[in-house]
Amino acid sequence: MKRVYLDNAATTQMDPQVLEFMVAAMNQYQGNPSSIHAEGRAARAMIEQARKKIANFLGASIGEIIFTSGGTESNNTALKCSVRDLGVRRIISSPTEHHCVLHSLDTIARSGMAEVKYLPVDIKGYPDMAVLEQWLAEDDTKTLVSLMHANNEIGTMINLEEVSRLCQQYNAMFHTDTVQTMSFFPFNLSEVKVNFLSGSAHKFHGPKGIGFLYMNKENIVKPFIDGGAQERNMRGGTENLHGIIGMAKAMEVAIENMEHNRMHITAVRNYFKSRLENEFSDIQFNGDPDNGNYKVLSVSFPATSKGDLLLFNLDINGVSVSGGSACSSGADQGSHVIAALHRDSDRKTIRFSFSHDNTNQEVDFVIDQLKKVLPELVKGTVASSV
């Protein structure tokens, strides 16, 4: 049966070049990178090569890249260790962050070690920059601002330069979760000051369970995971050698093809958006689709007789998408992001997220399936009495 995968914000398929590179590396490099013999030294060299590559892509120094198990660990490390080790006593964030940030902030608030404040967000999901400036200006408590670059559910993006400038002006630190934008947008950390930044390979066609934390050299923290002296004493545990190699390769491939992929993904997504607008009544787009992350289109459908089973019905008809965020569990519990936008809660939200592998023909297939599962919304049809 034909299937179309439009859930690339949840995870991406591994790039074949990355897979091939990793399989070759698995055959060739099997030493423990901490061993001093030849096998160990060869494995260590591969890790350091990957670190250098990633640092170069970001305009960072080699010592500023720490390998982690993914975005969740990177965000936990930045938030919890900046409170524990750097004297941060206030964190300003937003209610639409990923759960790994929000739940870390809950833990921090419960510990009593720092105050946590959430900026208001507008209907498109933009955190209020005027309130951020007011809070930074009125209180000189040591502060970390934690705002995601692009929201994983609706794609709304902050202006990194603007937040960075404000943080510098008021002497605050800045953490940004770039899990959804890393390798899809250019970064130059030698120009935009960020203290911590998180990335995760499986979002850019690399392997799962590997990510990194960029940590500015001015604000080095102690390990979040205690153990051996791996990662220059920053994270204990034998390194995920093949994951690290695969992540650097995935980044290389994604960055080489960034412009081409951006144009393709934008075109396919816009084609989908215009077909939805032309053929379905009463649909809404969440976020700021013309200015946000080009790979995400969040669509709210009005309540219909089959609305509750929308995800299920699309799945059995060959379309893989998610409700709010698919990252924490398979269950659709309603989205904290959509709730924060104060949108009509009866509506059913679906996040369609695209990759360079998607085509207009796949969009046509998805539209056909949507018409099948949401017949009442197809323009020109008489409303059914169900």
Q: Residue 15 and residue 203: Cα distance in Å, rounded?
A: 11
Q: How far is the CB of 140 from ligand PLP (least distance, A)?
A: 29
**Other C-beta atoms within 10 Å of 365: how many?**
17
From residue 52, give the alpha-carbon distance in Å to each of 76, 118, 231. 24, 36, 13
Q: How far is the CB of 358 from ligand PLP (least distance, A)?
A: 19
Q: How far is the CB of 211 from ligand PLP (least distance, A)?
A: 5
Q: How far is the CB of 71 from ligand PLP (least distance, A)?
A: 3
Query: Does residue 379 sit in helix, strand or coil?
Result: coil
Q: Residue 354 and residue 357: Cα distance in Å, rounded?
A: 8
Q: Catalytic one among 81, 100, 167, 327?
A: 327
Q: Residue 175 and residue 82: Cα distance in Å, rounded?
A: 10
Q: Which of 278, 279, 292, 281 is nearest to 354 (CA)?
A: 292
- Cβ-Cβ contacts under 8 Å for 25 (sequence gap 6 or more): 46, 241, 242, 245, 246
Give whichever of 179 and 377 is closer to ligand PLP, judged by the CB atom: 179
Give whichever of 239 and 376 is closer to ligand PLP, judged by the CB atom: 239
Residues near ligand PLP (CB under 6 A) are 70-72, 75, 98, 100, 148, 152, 177, 179-180, 200, 211, 327
- Is 167 among the residues known to form the active site? no
Give whichever of 179 and 253 is closer to ligand PLP, judged by the CB atom: 179
Give whichever of 44 and 235 is closer to ligand PLP, judged by the CB atom: 235
Q: How far is the CB of 40 from ligand PLP (least distance, A)?
A: 27
- Cβ-Cβ contacts under 8 Å for 17 (sequence gap 6 or more): 249, 253
CA 75 to chain centre: 11
Give whichever of 72 and 304 is closer to ligand PLP, judged by the CB atom: 72
Which residues are catalytically annotated?
A: 327
